[in-house]
């Protein structure tokens, strides 16, 4: 027998689920139940008190959801995972498990608009402050760390300009200051990159995107690499000191490598309640089974579309790290050897009218607010996903009024290119 772990493709199909022991069901059953019958009073008490493994109430855990969590943990090489109601819920769960009012975050300014809003406005209202910095400026990461900083945060591929986060360098800065690095890996998925291999400590996904791939379910997942030494850092009393909300449990004593997940489930999921439903987990598992096949096709199609756009007279620039001209090309070659995903932006020549005509002329691409679907998608960030972001920050993130974001799907690439060509022609006529 070879001494190796099962491969990615095998884990994507099997991890977290033996055939159902009761029915023999090969597919993951949907356990549509709010709660679970106890064997007796002792069993009930032991489950509540974390003396035995099992399910009590589906807000805290559910067998279908657990398969999804364990499969994602297996693929990311994390010690465990918690599935959430959305990617935003996963980000919120990570932050509130680590800190409270009076804490500070250093974050990349190239974030999904919703994340930017959460950090810049909503959490600020609850006393958690964020400093946004240029993710390529390593000095800025270090310079922005303060005594009350508790987290560094960025996206593996920044939204929407595809800045490649230099995870090894930023993680090194974080760790020198006794801080963890959280990354949003939605655009890359574990197929293109496993951030824990590069030094990240916590990873989350909007599973609505490539993980599911079908665009039928909203979900998120937060994974702990088990690599960060909370005890050694000394900055995280929520994990290393007794917690009155669970009979004085000291999570770092219970589990050396997974105190973060214990607290996140026993407090954040329990109290905030942004859990995933078993039906959603089932949908996402259907997508996860084909993740490696789909991601490779997404990347292959994206490369063809990028090549087409790069040579078109109506296109001013294409931001895709596979291209030698992209400022992060060398870093992408190192961190993303399989490819840079299938979501990217390009700038059209001409006015806002040209952009609007282009988007409205597309037939195969769907105009909507999502990415990572099997179907190709298009959106105009300045008026939609990033409409709340101030102009100066938009400019700093590389977004102009002419920026168009594409999410390249799994269609025949010739049809995608034909569709883009006819829409660009119409847009040019509209100028």
Partner 1 sequence: MDLPTSPRLYAYTGGRAFDAAKPTVVFLHGAQHDHSVWILQSRYLAHHGYSVLALDLPGHMRSDGPPLETIEAMADRIAEALRAAGVGQFIAVGQSMGSLIALELAKRMPQAVRGVALVATAFPMRVAEPLLNATRDTPGEAMDMINIWSHSPSIAGFDRKPSNPGPGFSNMWQNLRLMQRIQRRNGASVLPTDFVACSRYAAGLETAAALQCPVLFVLGTSDSMTPPRAAKALIEACRQPRVVTLPHAGHALMSEDPDGVRTAISEFARRVFAPAS
Binding site for partner 1 (CB under 8 A): 1, 3-6, 10-11, 14-18, 21, 45-46, 49-55, 61-63, 65-66, 69-70, 73-74, 77-83, 225-227, 229, 232, 247-249, 253-258, 261-262, 265
Measured from the CB of residue 82, what is the shortest distance to partner 1 in angstroms? 6
Residues 275 and 228: their CA atoms lie apart, in Å, by 25
In contact, 113 and 382? CB cutoff 8 Å: no
Nearer to partner 1, 234 or 390 (CB): 234
Per the listing, tokens 């829409």 go with 423
Measured from the CB of residue 291, what is the shortest distance to partner 1 in angstroms? 16
CA–CA distances in Å: residue 386 to residues 112, 292, 395? 8, 30, 11
**Per the structure block, which two tokens stand in for 318?**
């294409």
With 0-12 / 13-18 / 19 or more C-beta atoms within 10 angstroms meaning exposed / middle / buried, residue 426 is middle
Measured from the CB of residue 226, what is the shortest distance to partner 1 in angstroms? 4
Parallel, antiparallel, or unpaired: how do β-strands 377-379 and 366-367 relate?
parallel
**Within 13 Å of residue 143, how many CA atoms lie on the same side as its CB?**
8
Measured from the CB of residue 170, what is the shortest distance to partner 1 in angstroms? 20
Residues 363 and 386: their CA atoms lie apart, in Å, by 24
Nearer to partner 1, 227 or 301 (CB): 227
Nearer to partner 1, 137 or 253 (CB): 253
Nearer to partner 1, 168 or 327 (CB): 168
Shortest CA distance to 97 belongs to which of 150, 152, 59?
150
Measured from the CB of residue 155, what is the shortest distance to partner 1 in angstroms? 23
Shortest CA distance to 107 belongs to which of 175, 183, 161, 168?
183
Measured from the CB of residue 54, what is the shortest distance to partner 1 in angstroms? 6
Nearer to partner 1, 36 or 374 (CB): 36
Show the CA angle centred on residue 423, arms to residues 422 and 428, nearest 5°: 100
How many residues are recorded in the chain? 431
Measured from the CB of residue 265, what is the shortest distance to partner 1 in angstroms? 7
């Amino acid at each position: 027998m070879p001494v190796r772990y099962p491969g990615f493709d095998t884990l994507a199909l099997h991890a977290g689920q033996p055939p159902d022991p009761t029915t023999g069901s090969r597919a993951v059953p949907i356990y549509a139940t709010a709660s679970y019958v106890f064997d007796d009073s002792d069993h009930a008490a032991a489950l509540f008190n974390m003396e035995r493994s099992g399910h009590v109430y589906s807000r805290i855990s559910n067998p279908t959801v657990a398969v999804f969590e364990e499969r994602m943990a297996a693929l990311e090489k994390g010690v465990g995972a918690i599935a959430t109601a959305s990617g935003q819920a996963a980000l919120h769960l990570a932050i509130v498990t680590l800190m409270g009012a009076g804490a500070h975050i250093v974050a990349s300014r190239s974030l999904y608009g919703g994340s930017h809003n959460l950090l810049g406005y909503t959490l600020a209202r609850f006393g958690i402050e964020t400093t946004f910095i240029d993710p390529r400026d390593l000095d800025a990461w270090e310079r922005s760390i303060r005594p009350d900083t508790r987290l560094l945060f960025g996206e593996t591929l920044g939204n929407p300009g595809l800045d490649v986060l230099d995870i090894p360098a930023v993680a090194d800065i974080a760790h020198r200051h006794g801080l963890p690095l959280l990354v949003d890996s939605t655009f890359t998925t574990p197929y293109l990159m496993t951030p824990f291999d590069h030094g990240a400590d916590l990873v989350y996904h909007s599973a609505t995107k490539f993980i599911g791939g079908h665009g039928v379910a909203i979900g998120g997942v937060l994974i702990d690499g088990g690599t960060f030494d909370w005890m050694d850092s000394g900055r995280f009393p929520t994990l290393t000191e007794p917690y009155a909300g669970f009979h004085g449990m000291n999570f770092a004593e219970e589990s050396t490598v997974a105190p973060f997940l214990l607290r996140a489930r026993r407090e954040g999921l329990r109290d905030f309640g942004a859990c995933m439903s078993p039906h959603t987990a089932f949908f996402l598992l259907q997508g996860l089974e084909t993740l490696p096949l789909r991601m490779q096709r997404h990347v292959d199609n994206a490369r063809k579309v990028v090549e087409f756009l790069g040579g078109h007279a109506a296109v001013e620039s294409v931001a895709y790290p596979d291209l030698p001209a992209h400022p992060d090309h060398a870093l992408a070659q190192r961190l993303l050897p399989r490819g840079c995903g299938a979501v990217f932006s390009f700038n059209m020549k001409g006015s806002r009218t040209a952009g609007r005509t282009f988007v409205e002329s597309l037939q195969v691409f769907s105009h909507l607010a999502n990415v990572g679907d099997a179907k190709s998608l298009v959106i105009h960030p300045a008026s939609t996903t990033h409409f709340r972001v101030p102009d100066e920050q938009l400019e700093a993130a590389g977004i102009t009024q002419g920026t168009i974001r594409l999410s390249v799907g799994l269609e025949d690439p010739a049809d995608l290119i034909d569709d883009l060509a006819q829409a660009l022609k119409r847009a040019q006529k509209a100028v």
